[in-house]
Amino acid sequence: MLKRKDLRNRAMRPTVRRWLSNVLLAALFVVLSVVPGATQDAYPSRLVKIVLPNAAGSTTDILARLIADQLSRKWGKPVIVENVPGGGMSIGSTQVFRAAPDGYTLFLCPPSPLTIMKLLYRDLPFEPSQFTPIALLVRVPNALAVRKDLPAANVKELIDYAKANPGKVTFGSQGAGSTSHLSANLIDLLAGTEMVHVPYRGAVPALNAVMAGQIDFFFDTVTTSVPQHRAGNVRIIAVGSTERSEMVPEAPPVAETLPGFRSVTWFAMAGPPGMPAELAKKINQDINESLARPETKERLQKLSLEPMPGTPADAAKFFVEETELWGRVIREKHITVQ
């Protein structure tokens, strides 16, 4: 026969079990609320979208589809590329900026949306510095291509020629605020020259103008300008990277003459504001692994693209450095976009 104490203990056991269950559930809720992604399956559990602020067929587009294919294979989930051009890249940028920071909308873009757009345009519907840095992807050096009969065989001679002919040396660009425009202005700033800007509607007409002798020089990627250099239609006298390029090893860096100069076209991956750090880290690691694969490196090499492995922190630091460099040029040269 059970004693009264035993009966009381038995009666309490379900109550204790319920209490413990409630405590454990509450604790689990707290843990899940602070561990990003813990309430869902391992990322990714569904389709991932990479947004591009450029049209299909561009270098950015080719790169994005290459990375999307590699990530899709690794993750076992579809990764698609969505081209959202227009508005000087602001339409696609805004779409990502307003997306949920859950890793299912990513942003692959050239420098401007992550760095200088806020310095060139008023009333942007997004804040570049608030995107979540994920990874630096690749870069391609820019080349200083001059008309073949320009009396300047190197950067020093170009500077001397510009100083001897103030207001007469002309350079082309893809438009105000473009990399080619800012690069030439950086030479002006560092060398104390005053060269004349001639904007064009894209890189091809600007390079054609150099070949026709209508302007004196143009900064463009080695991918575009080296073939014309080899054909004898232009002369590349320097590159914008801080080291020589395998594409045109005979051309020294501009920085050898003008310390502090750099001009490379780069591409990066970012996410909406507020993406959890651990999620950004995972995507970063998977991207770096994908870019390191031999077949990927071979395809990048054919596009003259050099991988830029690193961490999200490296990307964040680089974005700040680029913003400071080109921000100085924009402010001191009073560059505006109409």
Beta bridge partners of 306: 139
| Kind plus residue range of the DSSP H or E element containing 137 | strand 132-147
Same domain, 177 and 100: no
The one-digit pLDDT tens for each residue of the chain (338 residues) are 444 444 444 444 444 344 334 433 433 333 343 444 433 459 999 999 999 998 888 888 999 999 999 999 999 999 999 999 998 899 999 999 999 999 999 999 999 999 989 889 888 899 999 999 999 999 999 999 999 999 999 999 999 999 999 999 999 999 889 999 999 999 999 999 999 999 998 889 999 999 999 999 999 999 899 999 999 999 999 999 999 998 999 999 999 999 999 999 999 999 999 999 999 999 999 999 999 999 999 999 888 899 999 999 999 999 999 999 999 999 999 998 86
One domain, residues 172 and 315 = no
- Whether the CB-CB separation of 215 and 209 falls below 8 Å is answered with yes
Inside any domain, residue 201 = yes
CA atoms of 272 and 145, how far apart (whole Å): 37
Q: Number of folded domains in the chain? A: 2
Q: Is residue 7 part of a domain?
A: no
Confirm whether 40 is domain-assigned: no
Residue 151 shares a structural domain with residue 239: yes
- Is the pTM here over 0.85, yes or no? no
For the chain, what is the largest distance between any 2 Cα atoms, rounded to a whole number of angstroms? Answer: 115
DSSP 61-94: HHHHHHHHHHHHHHHTS-EEEEE---GGGHHHHH
Question: 256, 284, 305: which is the final residue of a domain?
Answer: 256
The pLDDT score that the predictor gives to residue 282 is: 98
Together in a domain, 147 and 189:
yes
What's the CATH number where 125 sits? 3.40.190.150
